[in-house]
Amino acid sequence: MLGDAAAGIEAVEAGALDGLSREEVQAGAPREGEMPLVSRLRSGEEVVIGEDFVEERMAALLSRIPEGDVAAILCTGPFSGISERPGLVKAGPIFDRTLQAACPPGATVGMLIPERRQEADARRRVPEGSRCVIGVASPYLDDGVEERLAAQFRDVDIVGLNCLGYNGPLETAVARATGKPVVLARRALAEAVGRAAAG
């Protein structure tokens, strides 16, 4: 997932849903008011789970990582309950900082998210004084979304692809369709991991 920006890094990936049955994953569905997160099982099936459910399992995984190693959270969810530690790279804050640095003052931001219930979280990510136009598309199930975004994001200044499931080909297609600069969460995270690993 980290691509060329993390070339030369030995990566070990562990999923918060690994080892769970379908019933156990379904039990992790978001409760009312809880942030929904979109993921894909190894079978290719898309699932929506709650942030609290994922955060608890993720914290357990992070506790097994040796001190001095770099750990990256491959999701742009807030995960405010996971304590900061040396070497921890959170995709959410990295995406936020990258997007805000790329926004001209007063910019209108087109923000693509995978789940409509993430809209409030997405809007808080844009710089103060900026307007946010929301688009929703699954990174795993929606094909040809760039044609819809060309119309939906016609009047924006910059586009943010706010999910690690969105990939480089989609970034290229959206940039071509909209004619706008695009900030891809996956690319921003990969570059941050590369910097962290280089020390």
pLDDT above 70: percentage of residues in the chain: 95
Q: Can you tell me the distance from the alpha carbon of 110 to that of 155, in angstroms, rounded to the nearest whole number?
A: 9
Q: pLDDT by residue (tens digit) across 35-63? A: 999 999 988 899 999 999 999 999 999 98
Please give the pLDDT value at position 117.
Answer: 96
Whether 163 and 114 have beta carbons less than 8 Å apart is answered as yes
Q: pLDDT by residue (tens digit) across 105-115? A: 999 999 999 99
Please give the pLDDT value at position 7.
Answer: 61
Please give the pLDDT value at position 184.
Answer: 98
Q: Can you tell me the distance from the alpha carbon of 61 to that of 159, in angstroms, rounded to the nearest whole number?
A: 32
| 158 strand-pairing partners | 109
Per-residue pLDDT at 8 exceeds 80 = no
Whether 47 and 41 have beta carbons less than 8 Å apart is answered as yes
Domain ranges of the chain: 3-90+189-198, 93-187
Gyration radius of the chain's alpha carbons: 17
The listed CATH number (1.10.10.10, 3.40.50.1860, 3.40.1440.60, 3.40.50.150) that belongs to domain 93-187: 3.40.50.1860
Q: Can you tell me the distance from the alpha carbon of 146 to that of 2, in angstroms, rounded to the nearest whole number?
A: 22
| 182 strand-pairing partners | 159
Q: What integer best gives the mean pLDDT of the chain?
A: 92
The 10 Å Cβ neighbour count of residue 61 is 14
Lowest mean pLDDT of 9-13, 56-60, 86-90, name the range.
Answer: 9-13
Global model pTM greater than 0.85: yes
Buried b (16+ CB within 10 A) or exposed e, 69-91: ebbbbbbbbbbeebeeeebbbbb
Closest CA to 47 of 30, 70, 69: 30
pLDDT band, very low/low/confident/very high, at 116 (cuts 50, 70, 90)? very high
Whether 118 and 134 have beta carbons less than 8 Å apart is answered as no
Angle between helix 168-178 and helix 185-198 axes, rounded to 10 deg? 130
